[in-house]
Amino acid sequence: MLELVSQMFSYGFLNRALLVGTLVALCAALLGVSLVLKRYSMIGDGLSHVGFGALSVAMAMQLAPLAVAAPVVVLAAFLLLRISENSRIKGDAAIALIASSSLAIGVIVTSLTSGMNTDVYGYLFGSILAMGAGDVAASVVLSAAVLVLFVLFYNKIFAITFDEAFAQATGVNARGYNLLIALLTAVTIVVGMRIMGAMLISSLIIFPALTAMRVCRSFKGVVITSALVSVVCFFCGMVASFAFSTPAGASIVVANLSAFLLFALVGALRGKLPG
């Protein structure tokens, strides 16, 4: 096991993937707590599909993938947030529409130009080879920003997540913070999508929060646990992917699923036991 891990660290591209992935996993988990509790998890899913569409179009037009995808996904985040704010049920349907439309456009554009090659497969299901030095720099800056903002605004994020009307009544700019969270989510998705793939990145946002909520009783507990769970699952998924030559993104999702089942079991057992 140890040998395996040290072997992993000897590959430069794997090091980069591990670093970027760990940071993305951390950010996704923190943002995920707020998104899941606000019933906004669909936004993460919608954004990743939009990201895929943007990446495919960028590739077809031979533009830099990140430079195109980032602004498009950020714009989509604002749009989706607006839709969800106005009415929840209709918002759900609208997000599904936008998501599948972007996916369809992406697929058509690629089939008309390059065809379904390994690059497209990488966008859909992730590739640890995708990380260049630029991605590393971008993800370090991004994660630092997410972490600092999250810690500084932790109490406000709690208040807004728990009860937006009350937070607003006490002078918090709830809309502003919602936009901030949507923005950070968009950037996290764009960076994380390269490793996890457009189809799987949203699980990185949703799973850790849900897992932590099985056992934790306080908000702080949920936040810390989901961050830990996310990073640990990411690492286990990467090791498993290396050991069994399975795709990285899918292995990480399965690691998250295992953690979720384990925590659900613990939660259920604890509910049964007195005290």
Partner 1 sequence: MALISCKGVSLRYENRLAVEDASFEIEAGDYVCIVGENGSGKSTLLKGLLGLKSPDAGSISYGDGLEQRMIGYLPQQTVVQKDFPASVYEVVLSGCLNRRGMRPFYSPAERQIAGRNIERLSIGGLRKKSYRDLSGGQQQRVLLARALCATEKLLLLDEPVTGLDPVVTAELYALIRQLNREGVTVVMVSHDIVCAVHNAGKILHMGTGVLFYGRAEDYPDSEVGRRFLGGDHHA
Binding site for partner 1 (CB under 8 A): 37-39, 151-156, 158-159, 162-163, 165-172, 213, 216-222
| Nearest CB to partner 1, comparing residues 78 and 153 | 153
Q: How far is the CB of 132 from partner 1 (least distance, A)?
A: 35
| Nearest CB to partner 1, comparing residues 258 and 267 | 267
| Nearest CB to partner 1, comparing residues 125 and 154 | 154
| Nearest CB to partner 1, comparing residues 175 and 243 | 175
d(CA 176, CA 183): 10
Query: Of 63, 40, 140, 17, whose CA–CA distance to 71 is shortest?
Result: 63
d(CA 253, CA 258): 9
Q: How far is the CB of 166 from partner 1 (least distance, A)?
A: 6
Q: How far is the CB of 168 from partner 1 (least distance, A)?
A: 6
d(CA 203, CA 54): 20
| Nearest CB to partner 1, comparing residues 38 and 82 | 38
Q: How far is the CB of 47 from partner 1 (least distance, A)?
A: 21
Classify residue 126 as left (phi > 0), alpha (psi -120 to 50) or beta: left
| Nearest CB to partner 1, comparing residues 150 and 234 | 150
